[in-house]
Amino acid sequence: MAEGSDVSYWSLVTIVGPIVLLAVLIWVFAKNRKSKIDPEVTERATRENYAAEQREHERDGHSGL
């Protein structure tokens, strides 16, 4: 390998790498921008999980927090 080939690989990595990373980040944010699940459904599930955890702590004799 020639001495200059290492430099060109690093140039390629430092130029193309961030561009690919930016493209992936844009794709992820665009894909996750709007949730398909109704916020009330997630809120209700969260409340149910907290209540179940509280019942478990009370059953085991813990005072809560």
Place of tokens 């665009």: 30
pLDDT digits 0-9 by tens, 1-51: 455 566 688 888 899 999 999 999 999 998 887 767 788 998 999 999 999
Q: What is the dihedral of CA 19, 23, 24, 28, to 10 degrees?
A: 150
Query: What is the number of other CB atoms lying within 10 angstroms of the CB of residue 57?
Result: 13
Q: What pLDDT shows up at residue 3?
A: 56
Only one residue has tokens 């193309």, namely 16
Look at residue 63 in the predicted model and tell me its pLDDT.
60
Q: Rounded to two decimals, what is the model's pTM? A: 0.45
